[in-house]
Amino acid sequence: MNPSAQIQAFFDEATNTVSYLVADPITRQAAVIDPVLDYEHRSGKVSTTSADRLLAAADEQGLAIAWILETHAHADHLSAAPYLKGKTGARVAIGEHIREVQTLFRPVFHLDDVSGDGSEFDHLLRDGETFRIGSLEVQVMHTPGHTPACVSYRIGDAVFVGDTLFMPDYGTARADFPGGSAQTLYRSIRRLLALPPQTRLFMCHDYKAPGRATHAWESRVADQRARNVHVHDGVDEAAFVAMRQQRDATLAAPALLLPSIQVNIRAGRLPVAESNGVRYLKIPLRLPA
Ligand SMILES: [Fe+2]
């Protein structure tokens, strides 16, 4: 029988990201989902406070981190996957469609060290694939729309949905990044919401909807179906797509879009240091025509 996963959430105030430590209580094997590397854009300062919290929690509980799982190539924070991999030897996995995301963004940054075949990651996950964290079985669901490579991780009655859904009072993620699609996102969401009503859904972000005092990141399929402001039952695909496209047209680029994407499509690897020992990110300038 699949035992219940132990789930701990770690909220990063700076980027509104929720990282998870998911453990098998029997074997003490664990996975980290969507770890954040702390990065101050104004100063270029990088630190590992958030990732160290995850490591300390794993240490305290005698957990061995075997997997680092990304739900997608994030556009709002840098991944701490390489740092955690260096500390634990864990394998880094992401959805196989990361190849498309690499191919889309490699020319944007003129990067010659991005493969386009996903080989920067240790393992590329297919829809329906299963793998284990100790005795826990993880099922991969390809849930594209926010990006082409988004996956959700289903472990027993818990699903880590990435940016496919937000809390019911906040709605859904944007679908206007290159390769994104509101129509595809709607279909992925319906697939998640077809799971049993008591299924627990764990978000990757929370922005505290107006009127809510505290951050939250866990809901159930039934709550989403009843109350999600964008996709409750009764909202059809055409209505969702119209709403999403109209809303996305008003959104500015995320503050860390450019730093995040160029790093995260390299599995979180920072750029190679130049001859002076300093690493530099690239910002493509958009000049007037
Ligand atoms: Fe995202």
pLDDT at 289: 87
Question: Mean pLDDT over residues 210-223, rounded?
Answer: 96
pLDDT at 71: 98
pLDDT at 138: 98
Say what the pTM is: 0.97
CB 79 within 8 A of CB 268: yes
Question: Mean pLDDT over residues 70-76, rounded?
Answer: 98
Domain ranges of the chain: 6-261
Cα separation of 71 and 142, whole Å?
Answer: 10
Question: Mean pLDDT over residues 107-136, rounded?
Answer: 97
Query: pLDDT class for 231, splitting at 50, 70, 90?
Result: very high
Q: Name the nearest CA neighbour of 78 among 111, 122, 34.
A: 34
Distance 286 CA to ligand 1 centre (A): 23
**Which homologous superfamily is 6-261 in?**
Ribonuclease Z/Hydroxyacylglutathione hydrolase-like (3.60.15.10)
* Average pLDDT for the chain: 97
pLDDT of 1 higher than 70? no
Cα separation of 114 and 265, whole Å?
Answer: 7
Distance 166 CA to ligand 1 centre (A): 11
Distance 72 CA to ligand 1 centre (A): 7
Question: Mean pLDDT over residues 169-190, rounded?
Answer: 97
Cα separation of 4 and 15, whole Å?
Answer: 29
pLDDT of 139 higher than 60? yes
Query: pLDDT class for 159, splitting at 50, 70, 90?
Result: very high
Helix (H, G, I), strand (E, B) or coil at 67: strand
Distance 26 CA to ligand 1 centre (A): 32
Question: Mean pLDDT over residues 130-155, rounded?
Answer: 98
Condensed to tens digits (0 to 9), the pLDDT of residues 32-57 reads 999 999 999 999 999 999 999 999 99
pLDDT of 3 higher than 80? no
pLDDT of 2 higher than 70? no
Distance 150 CA to ligand 1 centre (A): 9
